[in-house]
Amino acid sequence: MTRLRAWHLVAGTAALAVLAAWSLFVGVSDLTLAGLLDGRPDDVRVLVESRLPRLVAILLAGTAMSVAGLVMMHLVGNRFVTPSTAGTTESATFGVLVATLLAGGEALIVKMAMAVAFALLGTFFFMAVLRRLTFRDMMLVPLAGIMFGGVIGAATMFVAYRADLLQSLGAWTAGDFSGVLRGRYELLWIAGAVTVLGYLYADRFTVAGLGRSFAINLGVRYDRVVNTGLVLAAVITAVVVVTVGEVPFVSLIVPNLVTMALGDNLRYALPATALTGALFVLLCDILGRVVRFPYEIPVSTVLGVIGSAVFLTLLGGGKRMGLR
């Protein structure tokens, strides 16, 4: 298992480096290595203003969302409960809409704060409801979360329709890195910092995921650790939604694939999950840029197609792979 973890990290890092270097030269604006080496002003400007910020945003978003999914599914004790299946993403989107209505002219940080607040409210409300219900089939829990998110999404669409903000909301929340420029992605560093905090709490999250009684017997403050993990997931989700829009399926399929290979010890699984999430989002973003070049398909569309196929595969092989 130790060799498998080391191989995964080495291979993943090498693949990520290759894709990252390639992504810098894929786009409508012609950018060449020769032009950069010659110091052409236009090439340098495109690299600094667009390609590098976009690459950093992709890596931060992929890393943060995959870690948020791993932490949430481990604390809840269900491999299919993540921010995208617990109403967290939809709650953050509703927060963005409320911020647009009440503070449309304020700075982006205000909208982020509102999105974080609503993401926290939605997540803790879902968890409160979940504690009152008893399901024998673990698939019913994420289905309940999807229904909860659907209700919030419907309310969001209705309010946006009444306020004539449907187009603005769609443009704001559609996951797309094409509009990322220097000065318009820096909030994602907050998600990166919260992700590092998740790694520092990895051992506590691992113990808490084994159950309340077990964690308390080992001296872990169960409620505090669980609440910390949920806050971490909600903050990451809200920051990503506000900055680049919804990034579907990353928080769901990446943690499942990594834990199937490496186990449930978060101290070992978190770095691999972060690396795999960044690699997955970067790969999908490059595919979106090259499939219909010079046109670009939003990364959320590519993630939706690939992610849904992988998710259905996980559901179909759940018993064999130990997911149910």
50 pLDDT higher than 80: yes
Most confident of 100-104, 252-256, 293-297: 252-256
Higher pLDDT, 174 or 187: 187
Output the pLDDT for position 87.
86
Architecture of domain 52-321: Orthogonal Bundle (1.10)
Q: Using an 8 Å Cβ cutoff, are 262 and 4 in contact?
A: yes
For the cut 80, the answer to whether the pLDDT of residue 283 exceeds it is: yes
Q: Which residues contact 94 (CB under 8 A, 6 or more apart)?
A: 118, 122, 152, 155, 156, 159
Average confidence (pLDDT) over 135-153: 78
pLDDT at residue 30 above 80? no
Q: pTM score > 0.85 for this model?
A: yes
CA–CA gap between residue 250 and residue 56 (Å, rounded): 17
Nearest one of 3, 67, 89, 29 to 289, comparing CA atoms:
29
What pLDDT is attached to residue 57? 92
Q: What's the confidence (pLDDT) of residue 324? A: 46
CA distance 204 to 270: 13
Share of the chain above pLDDT 70, in %: 92
CB 68 within 8 A of CB 232: yes
Q: Please name the residue that has the structure tokens 């943690």.
A: 255
Q: What is the mean pLDDT of residues 34-46?
A: 75
**Which pLDDT band holds residue 144 (cuts at 50, 70, 90)?**
confident
Q: Given pLDDT bands bounded at 50, 70 and 90, which one contains residue 59?
A: very high
- Tokens 């950018």, located at residue: 31
Q: What is the pLDDT of residue 102?
A: 85
Domain ranges of the chain: 52-321
Q: Pick the more confident residue, 47 or 306.
A: 306
Q: Give mean pLDDT, residues 295-319.
A: 81
Q: Give the pLDDT confidence of 158-172 residue by residue, as tens digits.
A: 998 888 888 777 777
Stretch among 20-24, 99-103, 210-214, 301-305 having the lowest mean pLDDT: 210-214
Mean pLDDT lowest among 59-68, 214-223, 241-250, 296-305: 214-223
Q: How far apart are CA 147 and CA 128, in angstroms?
A: 15
Does pLDDT of 236 surpass 50? yes
Confidence (pLDDT) at 67: 92
**HSE-CB for 15 with a 13 A CA cutoff:** 15
